[in-house]
């Protein structure tokens, strides 16, 4: 799957990922109204509204982008109905040829990690049959439990040709509380970066990149530069561009010399673009066109920084 991600990036010349993080208050009134007319102001109605909202954005942008990253929390807010919208979104994006990164941030003791891996990137056995559950292409995982919490994910990646992104240095303001702590003179995030490199050494694709990637926030560019060298074969998923303040010029060192190796996420900056002054002329009715323009601008911004 890492090779498909690389191919999609090369085809689109767009090292970006659109974060499908739908909040109900981003969903334009006409979509909410239609969903509520059919299902009432219910969790089902909310699920329908966020699914239709996503579909509009995917239809307007899929030809420009390599991948999407639905964040499961936004769907879980609405319980089972939200999860149905999550699954419909995953399937629809895959149909459109996009790589789907399920942002689920899981990780537990080995046996439990195995169940997470099976449910999201693997297959479950039911009697004599096997079924894929959510069936994303990649998922995000939390390394806090150590190697036996990660190995089940890597094993399923190998069996199913899928991938993971391991949290290494997160974009949020408090990320340094634990992640920057020095251990024998080295920050913890660097030690996790070493482990990511090791965990991925056995699952390197034809592209030269491994199925074990890393998450490094756009808001800590100096650390991104160091981590790029610590994990040369890992793709870096870079959240924090746009709404969290990350700038394209800061992200150049997250990439390798081949202009690959990083994929920059923007969620609110794309899906709620029509609410920004810059794209207000599109109006709520044409929210998806505003998202398309925001994607075009983001690609130009990042490629411009790489060219410079
Ligand atoms: O794993 C992630 O994607 C992630 C890691 C991190 O360090 N910071 C971070 O913001 N994210 C996710 O990236 C997205 C950022 O959304 P925006 O700030 O709206 O672009 C959200 O889905 C976050 O959950």
187-212 average pLDDT score? 98
pLDDT of residue 269: 97
129 - beta bridge partners? 126
Are 69 and 103 in contact by the 8 Å Cβ rule? The answer is yes
What ligand 1 atom has the least distance to the C-alpha of 71?
22
**Dihedral (CA of 7, 12, 14, 18) sign:** negative
107-254 fold: TIM Barrel (3.20.20)
Q: 239 exposed, middle or buried (CB, 10 Å; 0-12, 13-18, 19+)?
A: buried
142-195 confidence digits (pLDDT tens): 999 999 999 999 999 999 999 999 999 999 999 999 999 999 999 999 999 999
212-221 average pLDDT score? 98
pLDDT of residue 224: 98
Q: Where are any strands of DSSP class E within the chain? A: 16-20, 67-70, 99-106, 123-126, 129-132, 138-141, 163-169, 182-183, 186-187, 212-216, 236-238, 262-266
230-245 confidence digits (pLDDT tens): 999 999 999 999 999 9
- The pair of structure tokens assigned to 119 is 């449910």
Are 81 and 43 in contact by the 8 Å Cβ rule? The answer is yes
Q: Is 179 in the pocket of ligand 1 (CB under 6 A)?
A: no
Ligand 1: which of 105, 141, 171 to mutate, most ligand atoms within 8 Å of CB? 171
61-93 confidence digits (pLDDT tens): 999 999 999 999 999 999 999 999 999 999 999
210 - beta bridge partners? 204
Domain ranges of the chain: 8-62+70-97+267-300, 107-254
Question: Ligand 1 centre from 243 Cα, in Å?
Answer: 10
Residue bearing the CA closest to ligand 1, atom 11:
239
Are 58 and 92 in contact by the 8 Å Cβ rule? The answer is yes
Residue bearing the CA closest to ligand 1, atom 16:
267
What ligand 1 atom has the least distance to the C-alpha of 170?
7
How high is the ipTM of this complex? Answer: 0.99
Question: Ligand 1 centre from 132 Cα, in Å?
Answer: 26
Catalytic residues: 105
Tell me the average pLDDT of the chain.
98
Q: Is 107 in the pocket of ligand 1 (CB under 6 A)?
A: no
pLDDT of residue 132: 97
Nearest one of 290, 139, 114 to 211, comparing CA atoms: 139
């Amino acid at each position: 799957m890492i090779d498909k991600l690389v191919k999609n990036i090369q085809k689109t010349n767009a090292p970006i990922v659109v974060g499908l993080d739908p909040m109900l208050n981003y969903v334009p009134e006409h979509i909410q109204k239609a969903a509520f007319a059919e299902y009432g102001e219910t969790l089902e109605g909310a699920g329908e509204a966020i699914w239709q909202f996503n579909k509009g954005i995917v239809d307007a942008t899929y030809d420009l982008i390599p991948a999407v990253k639905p964040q499961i929390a936004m769907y879980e807010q609405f319980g089972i109905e939200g999860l149905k919208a999550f699954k419909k979104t995953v399937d629809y994006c895959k149909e459109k040829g996009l790589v789907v990164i399920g942002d689920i941030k899981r990780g537990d003791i080995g046996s439990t990690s195995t169940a997470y891996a099976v449910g999201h990137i693997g297959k479950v056995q039911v009697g004599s049959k096997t079924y894929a559950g959510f069936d994303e292409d990649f998922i995000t995982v939390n390394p806090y439990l150590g190697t036996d919490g990660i190995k089940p994910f890597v094993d399923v990646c190998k069996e199913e040709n899928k991938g993971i992104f391991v949290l290494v240095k997160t974009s949020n303001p408090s990320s340094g509380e634990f992640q920057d702590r020095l251990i024998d003179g080295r920050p913890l995030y660097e030690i996790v970066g070493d482990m990511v490199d090791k965990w991925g050494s056995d699952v390197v694709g034809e592209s030269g990149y491994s199925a074990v990637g890393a998450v490094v926030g756009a808001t800590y560019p100096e650390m991104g530069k160091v981590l790029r060298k610590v994990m040369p074969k890992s793709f870096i998923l870079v959240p924090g561009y746009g709404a969290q303040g990350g700038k394209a010029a800061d992200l150049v060192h997250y990439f390798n010399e081949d202009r690959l190796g990083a994929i920059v996420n923007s969620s609110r900056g794309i899906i709620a673009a029509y609410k920004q002054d810059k794209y207000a002329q599109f109006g709520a009715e044409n929210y998806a066109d505003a998202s398309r323009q925001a994607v075009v601008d983001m690609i130009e911004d990042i490629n411009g920084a790489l060219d410079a």
